Amino acid sequence: MPFYSKSQLLPKLEELNVRLDKKRGQCYLVDENIANYIIKEVEINENKDIILEIGSGLGTLSDSLVRSGRRVYLIDNDEKITKFLYTHLKSKYNVKLIDLSSDSIDFEQFSDVKVIIINGDAIKVPFPVVTKIVGNIPYQISAPLIFKIIDSWDINKLKKCILMIQDEFANRLIAKVNSKNYSRISAAVGLYLNIKKIKMVPSSCFFPKPRVTSVIIELTAKNSLSSDSPENIFRKDYLSFLRGVFPFKNKSLRNAISFFLKNDENAANQFKYFKEIIKNPESYLFINKKLRRFSPQQLFNIMLYGSTGKSDILQEFKLDEL
Ligand code: SAH
């Protein structure tokens, strides 16, 4: 351990009676250089960092994280794998294995435990407060995971995330306004996070080989996540606004908002000032533009108006048109 090469990994999987399943996002890293590269990029602050690894597998990355970090949380939803990891780490460290299907738990009770292995679905289990997040993440759940990371990002604690994702998906995260890839997730990431592609990784570095090229990305927080900014205070509202309007990204802003309010009763109450924008003759400058032509910041300002009636969007769009 760790199982850097295919010839070390295969007999171990056989012994554990585990068959890796690509459909469950089980593409294991079998390239030592890439594993080391990821660990280097995490820049572990010895004995200070509290780290969450998503999709720990047999521990190719976990071993190094545990060695240097102060406390490490490992999540995987394959029971055979988490049990193995528990047995493996227990001989050296204070380890706790918890089976978690509920959506609430007080992680503070484990504050003197070095490694907490969570057997559960990373989308469902609550994230502990950590300083770094790492993961060669299952591609099937990349989008909900990124939304969850944005939603739960604690600006005072979480310094950065180093994630291995599908390259095509990375292109959606960084997509520019009005481009083909511009989507709900680009508008969410674009407002809150800095994203850097730091290394392309060919499929030959995994077993089994995924059909796609992967990339290691780094996510850090923008100032908009600092606690007193409106972007931060209205974070959940912005994310639910995006969820409601982006299915209509090729429609006009007017229609996207109308569909959103029609489809969702709560939204009509929560964003009650939208009706005024739609009625206001001055808004003709932008209300008929297609939704996908609005930048994340513009969408946020529109959302803020809908929610509070307080935003200078009419002014802003007049200037924008000049
Ligand atoms: N970190 C390891 C394994 C990566 S493969 C390595 O780099 O080699 C991704 C892992 O995520 C698999 O072990 C798989 O069992 C796990 N996984 C898949 N879906 C998951 C989910 N919804 N929640 C938590 N873990 C999941």
Contact 57/124 with Cβ under 8 angstroms? no
Among 1, 3, 21, 26, which residue has the most ligand 1 atoms within 8 Å of its CB, making it the best to mutate? 26
Tokens linked to 192: 């809150």
Q: From CA 162, how far away is CA 218, in angstroms rounded?
A: 5
DSSP per residue, 11-52: HHHHHHT----GGGT--EE--HHHHHHHHHHHT--TTT-EEE
Residue located via tokens 């969850």 = 148
**Under 8 Å CB-to-CB from 103, ≥6 apart: which residues?**
124, 125, 126
Closest to 252 measured CA to CA, from 292, 306, 288, 299: 288
Q: Which residues pair with 196 in a beta bridge?
A: 218
Reported as half-sphere exposure (CB side, CA atoms, 13 A), residue 183 has a value of 12
CB 59 less than 6 A from any atom of ligand 1: no
Q: Which ligand 1 atom is nearest residue 164's CA?
A: 7
Tokens linked to 284: 């003709």
Q: Where are the domains of the chain?
A: 6-225, 234-321
CB 163 less than 6 A from any atom of ligand 1: no
Looking at domain 6-225, what is its CATH homologous superfamily?
Answer: Vaccinia Virus protein VP39 (3.40.50.150)
- Each residue's pLDDT, cut to its tens digit, for the chain (322 residues) gives 576 688 889 998 999 898 998 888 899 999 999 999 999 999 999 889 999 999 999 999 999 999 999 999 999 999 999 999 999 999 999 999 999 877 788 999 998 999 999 999 999 999 999 999 999 999 999 999 999 999 999 999 999 999 999 999 999 999 999 999 999 999 999 999 999 999 999 999 999 999 999 999 999 999 999 989 999 999 999 999 999 999 999 999 999 999 999 999 899 999 999 988 878 777 777 889 999 999 999 999 999 999 998 877 766 766 565 4
Query: According to the model, what pLDDT value does residue 159 have?
Result: 98
Among 5, 10, 18, 76, which residue has the most ligand 1 atoms within 8 Å of its CB, making it the best to mutate? 76
Distance 37 CA to ligand 1 centre (A): 19
Distance 238 CA to ligand 1 centre (A): 29
Q: Which residue minimizes the CA distance to atom 2 of ligand 1?
A: 57
- In 39-124 the beta strands, taken as DSSP E runs, fall at 50-54, 71-76, 95-99, 115-119
CB 141 less than 6 A from any atom of ligand 1: yes
Cα distance between the two ends of the chain: 62
Query: According to the model, what pLDDT value does residue 318 have?
Result: 63
Q: From CA 118, how far away is CA 120, in angstroms rounded?
A: 6
Q: Which residues pair with 194 in a beta bridge?
A: 220
Closest to 223 measured CA to CA, from 194, 196, 195: 194
CB 24 less than 6 A from any atom of ligand 1: yes
Q: Which ligand 1 atom is nearest residue 35's CA?
A: 7
Query: According to the model, what pLDDT value does residue 169 have?
Result: 98
Distance 35 CA to ligand 1 centre (A): 15
Tokens linked to 48: 């200070």
Contact 170/186 with Cβ under 8 angstroms? no
CATH 1.10.8 fits 234-321, yes or no: yes
CB 138 less than 6 A from any atom of ligand 1: yes
Give the predicted TM-score (pTM) of the model. Answer: 0.95
- In the chain the beta strands, taken as DSSP E runs, fall at 28-29, 50-54, 71-76, 95-99, 115-119, 132-136, 160-166, 193-201, 206-207, 214-221
Among 12, 20, 24, which residue has the most ligand 1 atoms within 8 Å of its CB, making it the best to mutate? 24
The sheet that has 132-136: what strands, in order across it?
Answer: 95-99, 115-119, 71-76, 50-54, 132-136, 160-166, 214-221, 193-201
The helix/strand/coil state of 159 is coil
Among 5, 39, 77, which residue has the most ligand 1 atoms within 8 Å of its CB, making it the best to mutate? 77
CB 61 less than 6 A from any atom of ligand 1: yes
